[in-house]
């Protein structure tokens, strides 16, 4: 049976991994940056083994969004094109916007969104820690949680604008924790899962340490049974 591994909770790992983490505590105290810590020979071996363990199981991915809670709980997180996302907004909530606002949105989408379709379409994006919530005053999640629909809709829209106020009135801000198969997730560093776990332990030993974090994406929808939705208050 596969476990779902919370990369921020090394204390939930099997005992052998916890023992090996405790053994690197002196190195954790020596290093301020997790990027440097994981280059130590003893630590890099542990990173490799932790990463291999994660690849055999599931990991928790964190998706920040402002959406309709019932949609996600019933349908899960769906991979969609930007066109599908934007048409859904217009079909369901287009009546909130006047003709000038709709024209503005369509022009904004054409200039900002359609040119990035290859990057954004049919992808779900995740963090693997909640660093974005606290780092820089939560600026990393401000627009994701504050304006409906994600970047496929709200990129380039400001909170205080009439359109921004309307987008901020739709849905609820949510943290969606998903059980993901790491083999399906595209990431940008080598051995990401092992490094994030070690970095999480590093912060437990040395709270002023600079952690390893990253984004990742996948092209597979997440079914409702593989996620937990938490509304941000």
In the predicted model, what is the mean pLDDT of residues 146-160? 92
Strand partners, 59: 5, 180
Distance CA 31, CA 23 (A): 15
Q: How many domains does the chain have?
A: 1
E-strand stretches of 68-192: 124-127, 172-180
Over residues 83-109, the pLDDT tens digits come to: 999 999 999 999 999 999 999 999 989
214: pLDDT strictly greater than 70: yes
Q: What average pLDDT does this structure show over 114-128?
A: 83
Q: Which domain holds residue 60?
A: 4-231
Please state, rounded to an integer, the average pLDDT across all residues of the chain: 94
Cα gap 86→77, rounded to integer Å: 16
C-alpha dist (Å) from residue 218 to 3, 7, 76, 123, 127: 20, 18, 14, 6, 12
- What is the pTM for the complete model shown? 0.93
- Alpha-carbon gap, residue 88 to 78, rounded angstroms: 13
Give pLDDT tens digits for 36-70. Answer: 999 999 999 999 999 999 999 999 999 999 999 99
> Which is it for the CA torsion 43, 185, 188, 79, positive or negative?
negative
How many Cβ atoms are within 10 Å of 157's Cβ, its own excluded? 22
């Amino acid at each position: 049976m596969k476990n779902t591994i919370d990369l921020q909770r090394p204390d939930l790992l099997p005992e052998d991994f916890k023992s090996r983490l405790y053994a690197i505590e002196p190195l954790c105290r020596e290093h301020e940056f997790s990027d440097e810590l994981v280059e130590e020979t003893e630590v890099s071996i542990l990173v490799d083994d932790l990463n291999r363990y994660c690849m055999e199981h599931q990991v928790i991915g964190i998706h920040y969004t402002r959406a309709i809670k019932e949609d996600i709980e019933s349908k899960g997180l769906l991979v969609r094109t930007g066109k599908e996302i934007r048409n859904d907004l217009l079909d369901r909530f287009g009546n909130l916007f006047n003709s000038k606002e709709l024209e503005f949105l369509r022009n904004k989408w054409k200039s900002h969104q359609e040119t990035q379709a290859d990057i954004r379409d049919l992808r779900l994006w995740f963090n693997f820690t909640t660093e974005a919530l606290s780092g820089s005053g939560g600026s990393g999640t401000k627009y994701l949680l504050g304006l409906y629909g994600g970047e496929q809709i709200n990129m380039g829209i400001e909170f205080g604008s009439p359109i921004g106020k309307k987008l901020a009135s739709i849905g609820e801000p949510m943290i969606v924790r998903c059980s993901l198969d790491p083999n399906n997730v595209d990431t940008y560093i080598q051995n990401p899962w092992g490094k994030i776990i070690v970095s999480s332990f590093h912060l437990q030993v040395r709270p002023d340490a600079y952690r390893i974090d990253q984004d990742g994406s996948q092209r597979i929808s997440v079914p409702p049974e593989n996620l937990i939705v938490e509304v941000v208050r």
